[in-house]
Amino acid sequence: MNKEMLNQAINEAPMFNGAPMDTLKKYLAECKTHRLQSGQVLIAPGEQNKFIYLVLSGSLSIHLDNQKSPSIRTVKVGGTVGELSLINSGKTSAYVISNNISNILIINRKSFWSIVNKMPIIARNLLEILSSWIVATDKTTLEHQRHIQELEGIALVDGLTGINNRRAFDNMLTRFLNRSTYGKHPLILIMIDVDYFKIYNDTHGHIGGDQALIALAATLRDTVRPGDFVYRYGGEEFAIILPNTRLKQCRNVAERVRQAVINTKIFMPDGSPLPSITISMGVAESILTENSEVDLKQRADKKLYEAKESGRNKFCM
């Protein structure tokens, strides 16, 4: 064993802080050392662990999910791994991998408890180490959860218009239909299509077309009632879900939306004006015995087709 390497590790080891060095070295001198190659797995999940490993040189990283998942902790010279599973005689729950060529000191269970019984301060140090590690792991887990939630939120938002997208629409429609069937509360689905959008796009370019869609999304969002939901379904198609609403209550909403779109001002990014647009809408009410979003959408699409075929800039229900 390299005594200089061992002395450095002991001096930097939080677990041995305050322990009598001469006594400690006597116990540790009986432990074996092991050399790890870069990328070598020292511990894998599900193993019965019987050792604590003290890093003498190099460094180790800990990974929760798999070997390629982000590291939750790096263990440098003086750091230890394997403490918790050795103490509770449980199985390991993470990967420990060597980041480079590393040397470790292997402390078996018998030697560890002999050291703790001889020097109780090590038990206190170890408690502090495990507490800080648990807190750090919880913070990392929460941070990962926050990132996941942010990504899920981004995945539900249309990148161009900033309103919810088709995926969000599908999820919400299913949820509201289930609630509608169970609670006997009808809902309205309005499918919307921009009139002659291809001509508009060809005439004013994709930037002009995008500006029209952005303006339309903002108008729909600002015009519907509180509690109604607006989505970009795809391309120039949009959708509105009106919970707890019947057809006779929807007529005023649909007309207000139609008029608002006609009066919406559209501008290029440089501020130059663009022509206004109109929309066609198909309106359908859920049937209490119907629990299929496909059926409801098909009926709304059929009414949308009628609106387009009968002159556009109108709604059919």
User: Which pair of tokens denotes residue 198?
Assistant: 């291809």
CA atoms of 99 and 287, how far apart (whole Å): 61
Alpha carbon distance 44, 60 (integer Å): 13
Counting Cβ atoms within 10 Å, is residue 70 exposed (0-12), middle (13-18) or buried (19+)?
exposed
Q: Where are the alpha helices (DSSP H) in the chain?
A: 3-12, 21-28, 83-87, 109-118, 121-155, 166-183, 197-223, 247-262, 293-309
102 closest CA partner among 74, 64, 76: 76
Do the bridges between strand 279-285 and strand 315-316 make them parallel or antiparallel, or are there none, so unpaired?
A: parallel
Structure tokens at 151: 């990504």
Measured at the alpha carbon of residue 39, what is the angle toward residues 35 and 42, in degrees to the nearest 5? 55
Give the residue from 146, 242, 227, 155 showing the smallest Cα distance to 192. 242
SS3 of the chain: helix, strand, coil, percent, to 5: 45, 25, 30
Q: Residue 256: CB partners within 8 Å, gap ≥ 6?
A: 223
Residue that has been written with the tokens 């002395």 in this structure: 7
**Nearest-angstrom CA–CA distance, 101 and 33:** 13
Measured distance CA(193)–CA(233) in Å, rounded: 10
Q: Is 277 helix (H, G, I), strand (E, B) or coil?
A: coil
Active-site residue, 290 included? no
Task: Please identify which of the residues 47, 128, 236, 255 carries the catalytic annotation.
Answer: 236
Q: Would you please indicate which residues are annotated as catalytic (active-site) residues?
A: 236
